[in-house]
Structure formats: structure tokens, C-alpha cells
Amino acid sequence: MIFYGEKQKPLLDEERSVSEEMDTGELAADGDTYADETAENSIYDGCSDEDLLAHIRGERGDEALDYLINKYRNFVRSKARSYFLIGADREDIVQEGMIGFFKAIRDYRPDKLSSFRAFAELCVTRQIITAIKTATRQKHIPLNSYVSLNKPIYDEDSDRTLLDVLSGARISDPEELVISHEEFIDIEQKMEEILSDLEWRVLMSYLDGKSYQEIAVDLHRQVKSIDNALQRVKRKLEKYMESRGDDLDIGTVYRGLTTINRVGRAQE
């Protein structure tokens, strides 16, 4: 529900009512409803809107266009006065209305049953309503595009969630925990010994930044198989780190191995 003037009224109903009035011919078509700003003693005085449109598409189009814009400027302002757009001032809504008015000039066809004024009111109303709806959707983008931490990481049947992955990657204090490049190389060499060929290839692809789905495609395996392989890698790595007596968390080791992997590729 979006506020329409001081009343709480659905915008869709407003747009529909204007469209229905245009179809039934009940929409005001006289030129006296709104005071215009047309210049005095213009050569276009007395011309109908349809005649002005013909001039706009002719040789003196700019002059006729200026005349028609001035004629309808207060008309557009009157329509804009009925709407409220969060985060915008009155002139922003007027500008949206003028965009709708230009669309009316562009799209109006004389062979249609409705008058130009009725068609212009419909276009102005629709343009303003579209702007308000768009602004409302943009306001809710953070809520509409959030990702739940309880979402399965690769398919709906998975027991592992994003929260499981994030909570297992504890960030270590670099002042309390320092490990040298040589130590990471030792760990990598040991992992190459204790891991199976599949586990090693999965680990290298994972450290290379590939997703579960990408690794599965590269190795011609199911995504579940890739996840199981990484779980085995994690258990073997944890067991090996315990045997070394190192107070290293898995996240730190992975980051170290990732650095070595990237350096190795750069040197190839």
C-alpha cells in the first residue's frame, strides 16, 4: 500500500480508474480545467491539441512543442500534487509527470477514439505511479536479496549450511599465531602424501577459488561427492595438525595453502 495524497489508496486502482474514464469518455477533455502558461497572441492560439501535434511533426515542430508544453505544464503539476514519493521532492514527481507527457506526445495517434488530453492524463498518471512503485521496490532490495545463513550450501538436501562453513573458519590473531612459508610447504607436501588423488585434486581446485559445482563439472563427479571429499580432507588435515602439535585452525591453514598454490601458479 502506497500513500496517495493524504489518503491510503492503492495506486493500481488510480491507474485503472483513469484508464476506464478514458475508455468511456468521462475524463475531462476541456481546456479550461487547468490554467495554462501559453504565451499571449501566439500563432497557435485556437489550435486544437491534435492540430498542435500535427505541427510538432511538421516543419515548425519546436515552436509547437514549446506551446503544447506550456499549455499542459500546470496540468502536470496538478496531477503530481496528488502523489507523495519518499526521498523525493515535489519537482521530482513533476519531472516524472513531464516524462509521461512527452511519451504521450510521442505515442498519441489521431485515429484513436480518445482525445489527446485524455491520453496525456493516462500517460502522466502511469509514469508517476511507475516511478513510485520503482522507488518502493528499491527501498526493499536489502530485504528481498538477503541470503539466509541456514541455506544449504549446494543443494536443498544438504545438511551443511553457510553458518557451518563460516563458524568453522575462525580468524586467528596474527600476533599470537605466526607460521612460516616453509611450514606451509611442509604441510602441503604431507597432505599430498596422505590424501587420495581425488581428495588432492578437489583440495587444489577448492584452494583455487572454484565452487562445489565448478569442481564437480571439472572432475566429472556429483556435487555431493565433492563435498564428501572436502570433509575427508578436513578430517585428515585436523588429525595431522594435532600430531604436529600446532595450534592452527583450519581456516588459517587453508589460507596459507591458498597463498602457496597461487604463488606456484604464478611461477609456472
pLDDT tens for 3-20 read 444 433 444 455 555 555
Residue type, 41: N
Residue type, 217: V
Q: Domains of the chain, with CATH numbers?
A: 3-143 (1.10.1740.10), 162-267 (1.10.10)
Nearest CA to 259 out of 198, 251, 153, 200 is that of 251
With a cut of 70, say whether residue 210 has pLDDT above it: yes
What's this model's pTM, rounded to 2 decimal places? 0.42
From residue 156, alpha-carbon distances to 28, 82, 190, 235 in Å are: 57, 47, 35, 24
- Distance, in Å, from the CA atom of 40 to the CA atom of 100, rounded to the nearest integer, reads 26
- Distance, in Å, from the CA atom of 136 to the CA atom of 84, rounded to the nearest integer, reads 11
pLDDT tens for 61-106 read 788 888 999 999 999 999 888 887 766 778 888 999 999 999 999 9
Residues 6+ apart with CB under 8 A from 195: 203, 233, 236
Give, rounded to a whole angstrom, the gap between the first and last alpha carbons of the chain.
Answer: 60
Q: Cβ(15)–Cβ(126) under 8 Å?
A: yes
Beta bridge partners, 8, equal: 3
Task: For the chain, give the mean pLDDT.
Answer: 70
- Distance, in Å, from the CA atom of 36 to the CA atom of 178, rounded to the nearest integer, reads 77
What are the DSSP E strand ranges found in the chain? 3-4, 7-8
Nearest-5° Cα angle at 123, 119 to 124: 115
- Structure-block grid coordinates of residue 113: 477514439
Q: Cβ(163)–Cβ(232) under 8 Å?
A: no
Q: Pick 113 or 159 by higher pLDDT.
A: 113
pLDDT tens for 134-163 read 877 765 555 444 555 555 655 555 555 555
Residues 6+ apart with CB under 8 A from 248: 172, 177, 179, 241
Which of 27-41, 78-92, 93-107, 243-257 is predicted least confidently? 27-41
